Structure 1
Amino acid sequence: MPIAETPETLVMGMPQLVSPSVAVARVWAILERDDFNFAEIAEAIGQDPALTARLLKIVNSAFYNLPVRIETITRAVGLVGADTLYSLALTTSVIHSFRKIPTCLVNMNDFWLNSLYCGVISRLLAKEASVLHSERLFVAGLLHRIGALIIYLRLPDKAREILLAAAGDDRLIPGLEKDRLGFTYAEIGAELAKAWKLPEALQEAIRWHLEPELAETHRLEASLLYLANRLKTVALLGFPADDVIRAIPDEVAVTTRLDEGQIMKVMALASEQFSETAAVFMPGVYLQH
């Protein structure tokens, strides 16, 4: 009788994805020390010219809207923070890692654009909620469905059954995964975030964004990601914004303390910022869309 898969075994069974690029791994090793300096981080990132170029492009884009142009990674670390730069470096690397998923299961262009929209909304909601380091919520939004890709790669037959049963309604997928696999994509995503040594707030936001009321230490982040995941359907699937807002659970509304006016403001800003952000973070994907 075959041993049942778990989120842990699925993630550990793909070491090529669990292990980040050499440059990103070096940055994490430096961050684990108490006595690191920005020059060391810049040197580690500088070993990967493509990664260096992507990060400088992000820092100099409207995503940060800095008043001066940043020419070096050392300066970038000083402005956005070492942890944030690590998360951004990992994220841009991850986008290039998943290339062998059957197109019959997922369109990767649509997957990343969908995830990007969630990231844009998450970041804007975090700003409205006065969360420090709102870029972390952008990363959480961008990676919130990353566990689904592991299911597609490791359990393609089960994934196909789940997608057929959902019949195009993504809202049904977590329940179907729980019934047929015993866990959801969110649980796998949290295991990946843990393996990648992302901050605990990101791990928990990804793990509990489907059930934010169960989050213990980072309920606000999980609630904001839950809300962003719901609100992205407004723009991507054309659902009425009012319907989505009315369906927000009381626990999420109390935790985030965001009113309808703030949420509508975020949706308007997200619509304005999406194209520009996509062009910066994933130009190849965006141009193919």
Structure 2
Amino acid sequence: MLVAETPETLVKGTTQLLSPPVTVARVSAILENDEFSIREVAEAIGQDPALTARLLKIVNSPFYGFSGRIETITRAVGLVGADALYSLALTTAVMHGFRKIPACLVSMNDFWLNSLFCGVIARLLAKEAAVLHCERLFVAGLLHRIGALIIYMRLPEAARKILLSAAGDDRLIPHLEKDLLGFTYAEIGAELAKAWKMPSALQETIRWHLEPERAERFRLETSLLYLANRLKTVSMLGFPIDDVIQTIPDEVNAAIRLDETQIVAAMSKAAEQFADTAALFVPDAYVRH
């Protein structure tokens, strides 16, 4: 084992340098009160014009597909839900926050496009599985590798060794992290989600998406993210998705209850939706077709 750090110490050191914007933290505090109102949430978000504009752009996009234009955050909160809009607000803040990653380790555009593809797949799988508020699976997919960014920031030499050993195959990274560091990016990501007071479902889904059988309260969501992550990885490596479908663990199959036709349909839609979604969330990135 290379370092004496733990997920907790890494996150503690990071949150001193990187914390959610004041507006996002304020919304989080409001949501902790079970008797919060839509007006309170809308007023808190409305104090940040840039965040308001980003959220309204997302809500008015084909990503949601609402009929008629949504002009106000109050209306957006009412339609999308306070928790979902908070998660989107936090997501956009995170994507704008990690800017000091050494370019020699990772291209941030590539990182977010990779994560975005996972989010698109997870959301579509959730729709096939009839999950309510399936946008939370999109957020989980987008943030599932957030812990890796902390490794890049805090342990760049270790990150370099891991990436060199993986040689472009992301499937090897969790095992390499475990061998070299004693923990994985998923454990760090869960600690960050906890420190930032993300919804408990998001915390558990990020923590156990590599080992979905260990999820307790949110086994379905975690299993869907596990599958989305595996489908995303083999797709980006150029392998057939049958390689994943034929090896889905029994525990995952039992949780998601999706057949091969549904999984293939979700992947087909993901390929169609990816470019448009990337243009919405990562507008400066070049998306390969």
Q: Report TM bin, short chain.
A: over 0.9
Question: CA, structure 1 residues 34+250, in 2 after alignment: closer, same or farther (shift >3 Å)?
Answer: closer
Quote the Cα distance in structure 2 between the aligned partners of 1:3 and 1:116. Answer: 30
Who is 2:258 aligned against? 258
Q: Provide the TM-score with structure 1 as the length reference.
A: 0.96
Quote the Cα distance in structure 2 between the aligned partners of 1:17 and 1:44. Answer: 23
| More displaced stretch, 2-11 vs 255-264 | 2-11
Cα drift, residue 33 of structure 1: 1.6
Cα drift, residue 16 of structure 1: 4.6
Cα drift, residue 249 of structure 1: 1.3
Who is 2:25 aligned against? 25
| More displaced stretch, 100-109 vs 136-145 | 100-109
Cα drift, residue 286 of structure 1: 4.5
**How many positions carry a matched residue from both structures?**
288
**Pair 1:214 & 2:205 matched:** no
Quote the Cα distance in structure 2 between the aligned partners of 1:93 and 1:109. Answer: 15
Who is 1:37 aligned against? 37
Q: What whole-Å deviation, never above 9, does each CA across 1:214-271 have from its counterpart, x for those lacking one?
A: 1111111111000000111343221112122112112111111010000000001001
Name stretches of at least 5 consecutive residues in structure 1 with no aligned partner.
none
Cα drift, residue 12 of structure 1: 0.7
Q: What whole-Å deviation, never above 9, does each CA across 1:87-130 have from its counterpart, x for those lacking one?
A: 00000010011111111111111100000000000001111111
Cα drift, residue 81 of structure 1: 0.5
Check whether the contact 1:116–1:141 (CA below 8 A) recurs between aligned residues. yes
Cα drift, residue 288 of structure 1: 11
| More displaced stretch, 240-249 vs 265-274 | 240-249
**Pair 1:57 & 2:57 matched:** yes
Who is 1:115 aligned against? 115
Cα drift, residue 35 of structure 1: 2.7
Who is 1:276 aligned against? 276
| More displaced stretch, 151-160 vs 11-20 | 11-20
Question: CA, structure 1 residues 223+133, in 2 after alignment: closer, same or farther (shift >3 Å)?
Answer: same
Q: What whole-Å deviation, never above 9, does each CA across 1:176-203 have from its counterpart, x for those lacking one?
A: 1111111000000011111121111111
**DSSP 3-state at the match of 2:97:** coil
Who is 1:169 aligned against? 169
Name stretches of at least 5 consecutive residues in structure 2 with no aligned partner.
none
Check whether the contact 1:140–1:202 (CA below 8 A) recurs between aligned residues. yes
Quote the Cα distance in structure 2 between the aligned partners of 1:287 and 1:209. Answer: 26
| More displaced stretch, 39-48 vs 66-75 | 39-48
**Pair 1:225 & 2:225 matched:** yes
Check whether the contact 1:18–1:192 (CA below 8 A) recurs between aligned residues. no
Matches within 5 A, 1:79-228: 79-228=79-228
How high is the sequence identity, in percent, across the aligned residues? 76
Quote the Cα distance in structure 1 between the aligned partners of 2:27 and 2:276. Answer: 28
Check whether the contact 1:113–1:286 (CA below 8 A) recurs between aligned residues. no
Give me the CA root mean square deviation.
1.7
Amino acid at match of 2:90: L
Quote the Cα distance in structure 2 between the aligned partners of 1:283 and 1:115. Answer: 15
Quote the Cα distance in structure 2 between the aligned partners of 1:233 and 1:19. Answer: 29
Who is 1:248 aligned against? 248
Q: What whole-Å deviation, never above 9, does each CA across 1:56-92 have from its counterpart, x for those lacking one?
A: 0000000110011100000000000001100000000
Quote the Cα distance in structure 1 between the aligned partners of 2:16 and 2:286. Answer: 25
Quote the Cα distance in structure 1 between the aligned partners of 2:243 and 2:26. Answer: 46
Quote the Cα distance in structure 1 between the aligned partners of 2:139 and 2:236. Answer: 19
Check whether the contact 1:177–1:185 (CA below 8 A) recurs between aligned residues. yes
Check whether the contact 1:162–1:173 (CA below 8 A) recurs between aligned residues. yes
Amino acid at match of 2:89: A
Check whether the contact 1:17–1:97 (CA below 8 A) recurs between aligned residues. no
**DSSP 3-state at the match of 1:35:** coil
Who is 2:12 aligned against? 12
Amino acid at match of 1:82: A
